[in-house]
Amino acid sequence: MPTTEEETSAGADRLIADRYRLEQRIGGGAMGIVWAGTDELLRRPVAVKEVLLPKGMPEGEAAELRERALREARAIALVTHPNVVTLYDVARHEGEPFVVMELVPSQSLAAVLSEHGALGDPQLALVADGVAAALDAAHRAGIVHRDVKPGNVLIGDDGRIKLSDFGISRNVSEHTITSTGIMLGTPAFIAPEIASGEAVTDAADLWGLGATLFAASEGAAPYGTDDDPLATITSVVRGPVPAAHRVGPIAEIIASLMIKDPAQRMSAQEVRRQVQGLLPPSGSRPFEMLLDPDAPTVRVRKPASTARSSTEAQAEQEPAQLAADPGPLPFMLTDPPPAPRKRFRWAAVALVLAAVVLFAGSAAGGFAATRVLAGRDVLPQLDRPAPVNPTTPRLARYVDEADRTEDGRGSFEVTAPEGWSSFRGSRNQPTESMIVYLVSPDGASEVAVERFQDYYGDGYTSQDYVDVLEQRSAGQHGRFSLEVDEASGAVESTSGEADRHLRYTSSQGGLIGPASTAEGRVTTSQVMPRGGDLWVLRVTSPGDRPADNDELFTTALNSFRLTGA
């Protein structure tokens, strides 16, 4: 079996569609990888998105993920604007779509906020102006982005602001993808009308802009925790709109965007008008000291190559000849696919995507609440089995990957009730993690598997995880009670720590509905050091169902198994 380095080398040396050379992995998520590369025909740098399909994914779901990649390409193709990442091409290679885009040396606003905290007024004004301009252009083209958040705002090394990841955008003339695994937004930034299943208009993006500016102004997302995404979305729909502590024009803009009635929100044009007096002087670089120059997404220039022949050196100085044939027109995925392609794995580069955004990486897994809060089933009615009887649930084996970097260690198996829906998300407490959620049809219970990659190698301990549980589970105004915290099992040699068994109850302040009951929510979890990673298996249920929680947790824990290398 090839080593991780060999797999990375093979992946980074591929030539896609006889034109695009993949050189360096700069980002990735649960469903895709982003490469820095070169268009060998035009000799310009490009970013290439590759669809990454989990092992064992049904072909129907795989087709929807491919369609999502094309949906993003179609959306960006309609929007030509300096503040939107430019689409260059959609190429098909070995039956899979590759989206070829502008390569922007940059970091995401989320990465900047995580490292440096809240921004100043000139920086906020630049973000507001750039994103508002991008949204105005998209809306004029009939495109609703639907996932405006700090992770999708890129800050270029020259100070440019770019809006990226139109993967769940919607053209008003198209039908919306609505099926298992297609995420509808990020809970802490999702517009109330999206969360409650109502019609989505341009105004949903204006809420996202307001929530993004709130996070950039306050240094924290407007709505509590994604550790309980159902509770977060309940707060968005039914809770009060949080008020920013900052005063002045930026605070007024945020308040005018984060209005629950879509018709009352400030327009993108008005946002731009109001920030003009706060913008930094032309030519200045207000983010220069905040970007990490060593981040792969900033340092995406072509890496120094080995010694080249004089012929190669001369060729670089000569103008490229135009192709005799520019190639076929954009393709349809209904064409017969070629023979199955060889599967590759790649090594880790674990920094936040900024050249172009993660496929769904930063998205959290509680999107089932978009239907629950609207009084509907968790997912739109498709050809699905009848709901499981909660008193005598049939069990099923779930196989998935809690993996950002395809290092081969993120695969696992776990048993849970049949018919539960699977979603992926991420957290940044106490450090970045990848989470797979299994959510019950009624949205009340979930089994979650969370992986913190290289956790102990980065100097964290299991206690660091326990210390942030209250903030993760209850937010600033909720209730939290840690009832059980005890060692379980032998000491793991790599970390020097044993498993920990935890049980706690929590609720976020003011919650109503299926995500919260009078007794709050009870969570039982196992904190497991494994080979330098920290794995957490947890089961969360309404507080009035402790017996169900115990039974479900015992089933999940006894069946949990890591299957990666």
pLDDT digits (tens, 9 = 90+) for 351-407: 333 333 333 333 334 444 444 444 444 333 434 444 444 455 688 888 877 665 555
Q: Are residues 426 and 538 in the same domain?
A: yes
Same structural domain for residues 126 and 151?
A: yes
Task: Identify the pLDDT of residue 66.
Answer: 76
Interval 191-237: pLDDT, tens: 999 888 787 889 999 999 999 999 999 999 998 655 677 778 888 88
Structural domain includes residue 8: yes
The domain boundary, picked from 247, 278, 309, lies at 278
Query: Which regions in the chain score pLDDT beneath 70?
Result: 1-11, 28-31, 53-56, 72, 167-185, 224-227, 300-393, 402-409, 423-426, 441-443, 475-478, 508-519, 565
Flag whether the pTM goes above 0.75: no
Q: How far apart are CA 194 and CA 179, in angstroms?
A: 15
One domain for residues 97 and 112? no
Q: Is residue 323 part of a domain?
A: no
Residue 285 lies in a domain: no
State the pLDDT at residue 2.
35
Using CA atoms, how far apart are residues 35 and 109, in angstroms rounded to an integer? 20
Q: What is the 3-state secondary structure (H, E, C) of 16-83?
A: ECCCEEEEEEEEECCCEEEEEEEECCCCEEEEEEEECCCCCCCHHHHHHHHHHHHHHHHHHHCCCCCC
- Find the angle CA(333)-CA(338)-CA(340) to the nearest 5 degrees: 105
Q: Is 420 a member of any domain? A: yes
Give every CB contact of residue 313 below 8 A, 6+ residues apart in sequence: none
Q: Are residues 90 and 201 in the same domain?
A: no
Tell me the three state secondary structure of residue 145: coil
| Same domain flag for 416 and 504 | yes
Q: Give Cα separations from 39 to 43, 45, 102, 365 (angstroms).
A: 5, 6, 11, 35
Decide: 228 and 522 in contact? Cβ < 8 Å.
no
Per-residue CA distances from 415 to 129, 395, 425, 444, 560 (Å): 48, 6, 20, 18, 7
Pair (144, 80) in one structural domain: no
Q: Binding site annotation covers 260?
A: no
Active site residues: 147
Residue the block writes with tokens 């920094």: 351
- We report the CATH number of the domain holding residue 458 as 3.40.1000.10
pLDDT at 425 (0 to 100): 65
Q: Is residue 379 situated within a structural domain?
A: no
The three-state secondary structure class of 6 is: helix
pLDDT, position 389: 44
Is 41 in the same domain as 120?
Answer: no
Q: Looking at the 3D structure of the chain, how many domains does it have?
A: 3
Name the token pair of 23: 């050189």
Residue 565 is predicted with a pLDDT of 57
Of 181, 529, 565, 180, give the one whose Cα is nearest residue 411: 565
512 and 550 co-located in one domain = yes
Compute CA distances 400 → 178, 230, 520, whole Å: 21, 21, 29
481 occurs within a structural domain:
yes
Q: 268 and 417: one domain?
A: no
Structural domain including 169 reads 106-173+182-278
Q: What are the backbone dihedrals phi and psi of residue 361, each rounded to the nearest 5 degrees, phi first? A: -60, -50
Same-domain status, 407 and 313: no
Checking DSSP bridges between strand 20-28 and strand 15-16, what pairing results, if any?
A: antiparallel
Contacts of 427 (CB under 8 A, 6+ apart): 226, 227, 364, 433, 435, 450, 472
Spatial separation of the C-alpha atoms in residues 16 and 92, rounded to whole Å: 8
Residue 148, in any domain of the structure: yes
User: Rg of the chain over CA atoms, in angstroms?
Assistant: 23
Residue 120 domain-assigned (yes or no): yes
Q: What is the CATH number of the domain that holds 13?
A: 3.30.200.20
Considering the domain architecture, whether residues 448 and 500 belong to the same structural domain is answered as yes
- Tell me, yes or no, whether 312 and 166 share the same domain: no
